[in-house]
A and B are shown apart, each in its own frame.
Chain A
C-alpha cells in the first residue's frame, strides 16, 4: 500500500479540485468528496497532496477521512460487492449473506481481496425491498440471495 504511485495527471486534477475550493481549509470535506469521486479512494499519498494544498496538517486530513465512513483509503475491487443492510434485507437474513461473503472471500467489510478482484461493503436500503435480501455487484442487482447462493455469485465473476 505504501508504494502506490498516482499519475502526474491525477495530481494536477486533485490540485485543481483544491483550487476550485480556493484552497480553503474549511472546504476539506468537499475537496475529499470530489477527489474520492475522481480517484475512487483516498490513499495516504493523496491525503498528503490535499493537506499541502489546503495548508493544513496531514493528521487533520486523516482525522476527517477516518471520521466519515463514506471516505475510504482502500481502492475498490474490480467487482465491488455491496450487501444491503436496510431493515427489510436485514430482517430477511442479510447478515448471514454478508458472513458468507466474508468467509469465502476472506476479507472484512471495507476491504479488497489481495488480487484486487472483489471489495466488500454494506449499503443502506437500495429501494428494492421486495427482492430482499439484496446484493449488488457493480451495477447488477441480485435479489432473494441466500447464503447458499453466495458462492455462485462469486463464481460468475471469478471466471471473468
Chain B
C-alpha cells in the first residue's frame, strides 16, 4: 500500500491507483470531462486530453491530470487551491469559447456534463471570444451528429471502436478543424453504423443525440381520426423511474402504464406480448434446426443466432453478410408487435391499418432505424410508426404535466398486453436465450420444466457459455453482449471452431438495459446491475413464466396464425437479411 495525502487527508491506496480514484475514496470528487470508466466492463477512456481534472502535486512544476496520474509514496495533492481552480476555469472557458451557447434549446440540456461543469464552477461569462468552428449537421434515421458541440473527448470513438469494433468514428483533421467523423467525413447513414447508440450514450454533450419523434407522437395523439396504440419494451420499465429521480432498478411498470393512458393512448400494450410470440417462432425454429442436426441432416446451419436486436442485425449485414443464413429469421419483438397490430388487431377493431398508429417505447436507437426498413411496411404504411426512446418518453410525460412519482399503478390492456416472465427478461443479456430454453425444453422433452431459472445463463460477463440439459441431450449455448464480443463468436463460426447449438447476441453492453436510448448512466455500471436485477425479480413475480403458457398467445395462434412457422407466421413474423457490405461511397 502507498501512503498519500489529498487535501490534507492521509490515505492509503494500492499501487497503480490514480489520484482521481484515490480522492473518491475520501469523498473528494475531482471534476472530469473526457475521462470515462465503465467499471464492471473494464472499459476506460483516458486520453488525458481535456485537463479538467488537474490537481497540484507538491514538488511538481506543472499541474497533473488526476485521471491519468498514478499515486506515489509520500505524494501530497491539492485538488482545489486557487491555482487549480483558476486553471480549471480557464480550460473550461476555452472549451466554451468554441461551443454554441444554445443550452436552452439543446437536446442534451439537463443531462449535459459540460453544462453541469459550467454550473458547478459558477461560470458566468466566457472571457475568451474567438472564431467558432462550424460543421454541417448530420441526421441519420436514428442519430443526429451536431459536431459543433463536440469537445473532442473521444469517448464515442472508444465505444464505437474498442467496445463495439464497428469502427465508424475517428478523429479527423487537425487543430481547429478537427472533428470526430466517419471515414471520408461521410454522413452516418453512408457508413457501417449499426445505430446501437452507444456513442450517444457516452457523449457528454449534445454533439450526439437521438432523432426525436415526440412531436410526431403528440400530433398523432391529437388526431381524432387515428387510433393510437403503444407498446413498451421490457427494459424501459426498469429504467424510466431514474428520469424522475427514483433509485436505479425501480420497477415502474404500473406507473408507466398509467402515464401512457393519461397521455391519451387508446390502448396501452406490451412488447413483452410480442417477446412471448418471438419465443414461439424463434424457439420453434431453433428446435427444428437442432432436431434435424441431431438426426444427422448436414444441410442445417448451426449455431442458430438470435435476431431480436436490430443493432446486431445491422452489424452482421454490414460486416458478415456471407453468414446471413445463420441467424434466426424471426423478426424482433418490436416488429412482430407491429405486424400483428396492423393486421389481427386492426381487423378486431374493424379499422384500416392507415388509421392505426403504432408507437413503441424502446431503450434502443437501432429500433428507430429498424421500423423504417422497407420490408416492415405494407403499401408504404409502416408496421411500427414511431419508435421513441425511454428518454423521449420521460420528456413526453413531463410535457403533459404528469407527476410520475405519485401515479397509481394500472394494468396493460388485453389482448396484446399480457405476457409471461420469460418475456420480461428479454431486456437483459442472457434473457432471450433463457426464455427460449424454457419453452424449447418443454416442447423437446414433452416434460414440464420444474426449475425455470437457468442461473448458468445469467450474469454480466462479456462472453458466457453453458450447457443446458434437455433431458439427456446436452444443448450448448453461447451468449455475447457488446458487438466486439459478438464479433469474436462470429469469427469462430466463420473459422469452423464454434461448438454452440445456439447463441444469443445483444449489441449493447448489458443488453437492452444498457441501450442507447436509456437514461444516461454516466459510467456508473452499478445502475445497469440494478436494472438487470429488477428484470429478474419482475420475472419471478409472474405466475406464468414460460412463453407458450401465455393464454393470449395461444388464442392468437388458434384464431389467426395457425401454428408457429406457419405460412402466415412466415409472412408476418419472419424476415430475411441483406448484404450491406457495399464499399463506402463518398459525399461529393
Give chain A's interface residues, CB within 8 Å of chain B: 1-2, 44-45, 47-48, 56-63, 66-67, 69
Contacts and interface: CB of A to CB of B under 8 A. Distances in A.
Query: Which of A2, A59, A61, A67 has the largest number of chain B CB atoms within 10 A?
Result: A59
Contact of A57 (B170, B171, B585): B170
Given A59-B183, A62-B183, A48 B172 contact: no
Given A47-B183, A67-B173, A59 B586 contact: no
B184 A60 contact: no
A58 to B, nearest CB: 4
Contacts of A1: 586, 588
A116 to B, nearest CB: 17
Contacts of A63: 170-172
Interface in B152-204: 161, 166-174, 181-185, 191
A126 to B, nearest CB: 24
B583 to A, nearest CB: 6
B351 interface: no
A59 B168 contact: yes
Nearest to A45: B583
Contacts of A62: 170, 172, 183-185
Given A58-B183, A63-B171, 4 more contacts: A59-B167, A59-B169, A60-B167, A62-B185
Contact of A60 (B161, B185, B586): B161
Given A44-B584, A44-B586, A60-B167, A66 B183 contact: no
11 contacts: A2-B588, A47-B183, A56-B167, A57-B167, A57-B170, A57-B183, A58-B584, A59-B172, A63-B171, A66-B174, A67-B172
A44 B184 contact: yes
Interface of B: 161, 166-174, 181-185, 191, 583-586, 588
A151 B522 CA distance: 60
A69 B178 CA distance: 13
Contacts of A56: 167
Contacts of B172: 59, 62-63, 66-67
Contacts of B181: 59
A61 B182 CA distance: 11
Contacts of B170: 57, 59-60, 62-63
Nearest to B177: A66
Given A2-B588, A63-B171, A57 B161 contact: yes
A35 to B, nearest CB: 16
B541 to A, nearest CB: 44
Nearest to A43: B586
A56 B167 CA distance: 8
Contact of B584 (A48, A60, A66, A69): A48
A95 to B, nearest CB: 20
Query: Which 6 A-B pairs give the minimum distances between C-beta atoms?
Result: A57-B167, A59-B170, A63-B170, A58-B183, A59-B183, A62-B183
Nearest to A65: B172
A57 B586 CA distance: 16
Nearest to B182: A59
B143 to A, nearest CB: 15
B172 to A, nearest CB: 5
